[in-house]
């Protein structure tokens, strides 16, 4: 296992290197320069060029990339063009909020999707199965920005049950209930699509498992149906779902870009949107690499969990 993990970590290096080159090339080709976007439009051309030279944006693209990569290897992600703060500090300040949203959304998706997927499989072609299937398709087809707007309009504006946005009530002392109050709507929106997909995968996997010979043998021995399904069936049915679960982790970063902006949640997703509009290249590149690392680690975690769930797997 240790050798396998080391080999996978080494394989991350060329993958991340390729992602960084592609991301930098797209960003470099995008219209609008930081010095132009963030300076007074009435400033002289000479002063604008001086600012470009100060930021190193007049250098050739390969020189800018190599300089940035050299700093990243040393743990320096640069300084924000607009905020004039170290990018690493900006990300670390917002990372806890994004992690809280991701963890809560993941827990919400798992505790709802897996039980409903199992029930849908054990009651195949029933009204409950059709209801779960239709709900899953609706969850997959509903854009999260539209769902977020509808939830805000209904629960926040009309009923006044939840706050419109933010991470906590301004001016109030820290309260766990207050944080949960602000967290519930963005977590539901972020979890909906993954919840729907996970339900479908669970149903499909369990349908394959419950028709296996060992399940019939367990029933023939007189075990209770709940024991047969949840102890003998679910453990094996979760094996292919583990891979999907690992791939879900990076999707939360992509989804959080829209959700955090919609609910004014001060996380990495909102930071990425703000940096994109401001052409803040160091922030954009740092968050892009963070998402790439999370994607690779998600695959690695999926492999480890796969081996834990299935002892037949050897590395």
Domain locations along the chain: 1-74, 95-309
Which CATH architecture best describes the domain 95-309? Orthogonal Bundle (1.10)
Structure tokens at 89: 């500090």
- Which is more confidently placed, 50 or 212? 212
| pLDDT value, residue 121 | 92
pLDDT given for residue 302 in this prediction: 74
Model pLDDT, residue 118: 92
DSSP state at residue 181: H
- Residue 315: pLDDT over 60: no
CA 40 remoteness from chain centre = 36
Which two three-digit tokens encode residue 4? 């396998």
DSSP helix/strand/coil, 79 = strand
Closest to 288 in 3D by CA, of 248, 257, 245, 247:
257
Per-residue pLDDT tens over the stretch 242-281: 777 766 766 667 778 888 888 988 888 889 988 888 888 8
Q: What is the pLDDT of residue 181?
A: 87
pLDDT at 184 over 60: yes
pLDDT for 102: 87
User: What does the pLDDT read at residue 311?
Assistant: 63
Task: Indicate the pTM of the whole model.
Answer: 0.81
Res. 74: pLDDT tops 80? yes
For 83-108, give the DSSP string. T-SBHHHHHHHHHHHHHHHHHHHHHH
Is 193 within 8 Å of 139 (Cβ atoms)? yes
Mean pLDDT of 80-98: 88
Taking all residues of the chain, what is their mean pLDDT, rounded to a whole number? Answer: 83
pLDDT (0 to 100) of residue 290: 85
Q: Span 17-42, mean pLDDT?
A: 73
37's CB contacts (< 8 A; 6+ apart) are: 278, 279
Residue 208 has pLDDT above 80, yes or no: yes
Which is higher by pLDDT, 9 or 89?
89
| Helix, strand, or coil (residue 143) | coil
What is the pLDDT confidence band of residue 203, given thresholds at 50, 70 and 90?
Answer: very high
Give the residue from 113, 117, 143, 112 showing the smallest Cα distance to 262. 143
- When pLDDT is cut at 50, 70 and 90, the band that residue 188 belongs to is very high
pLDDT band at residue 41 under the 50/70/90 scheme: low
Give the contacts of 203 (CB within 8 A, at least 6 positions apart).
117, 118, 120, 121, 129, 132, 133
Mean pLDDT of 78-84: 84
pLDDT digits (tens, 9 = 90+) for 105-135: 888 988 999 999 999 999 888 999 999 999 9
Q: What is the DSSP string of 271-289?
A: HHHHHHHTT-HHHHHHHHH
State residue 58's pLDDT score.
76
Residue 242: count of CB within 10 angstroms of its CB: 19
Q: How high is the pLDDT of residue 291? A: 82
Beta bridge partners of 86: 79
* Neighbour-count burial for 27-61, b at 16+ CB within 10 Å, e otherwise: eeeeeebbbeeeeeeeeeeeebeebbeebebeeee
């Amino acid at each position: 296992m240790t050798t396998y993990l080391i080999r996978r970590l080494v394989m991350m290096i060329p993958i991340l290197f390729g992602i960084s080159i592609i991301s930098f090339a797209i960003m470099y080709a995008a219209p609008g320069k930081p010095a132009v976007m963030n300076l007074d439009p009435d400033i002289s051309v000479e002063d604008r060029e001086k600012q470009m030279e100060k930021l190193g944006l007049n250098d050739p693209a390969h020189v800018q990339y190599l300089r940035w990569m050299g700093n990243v290897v040393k743990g320096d992600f640069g300084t924000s063009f607009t905020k004039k703060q170290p990018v690493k500090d900006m990300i670390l300040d917002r990372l806890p909020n994004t992690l809280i949203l991701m963890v809560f959304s993941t827990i919400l998706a798992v505790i709802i999707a897996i039980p409903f997927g199992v029930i849908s499989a054990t009651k195949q072609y029933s009204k409950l199965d059709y209801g779960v299937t239709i709900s899953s398709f609706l969850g997959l087809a509903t854009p999260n920005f539209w769902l977020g707007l509808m939830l805000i309009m209904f629960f926040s504006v009309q009923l006044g049950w939840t706050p419109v946005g933010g991470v906590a009530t301004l001016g109030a002392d820290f309260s766990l209930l207050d944080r949960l109050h602000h967290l519930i709507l963005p977590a539901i929106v972020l979890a909906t699509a993954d919840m729907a997909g996970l339900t479908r995968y669970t149903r499909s996997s369990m349908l394959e498992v419950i028709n296996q010979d060992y399940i019939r043998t367990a029933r023939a021995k007189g075990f209770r149906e709940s024991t047969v399904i949840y102890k003998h069936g679910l453990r094996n049915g979760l094996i292919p779902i583990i891979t999907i679960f690992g791939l879900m982790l990076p999707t939360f970063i992509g989804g959080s870009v829209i959700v955090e902006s919609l609910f004014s949640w001060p996380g990495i997703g909102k930071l990425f949107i703000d940096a994109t509009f401001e052409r803040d290249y160091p922030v954009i590149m740092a968050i892009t690499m963070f998402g790439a690392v999370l994607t690779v680690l998600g695959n690695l975690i999926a492999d480890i969990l796969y081996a834990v769930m299935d002892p037949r797997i050897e590395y």
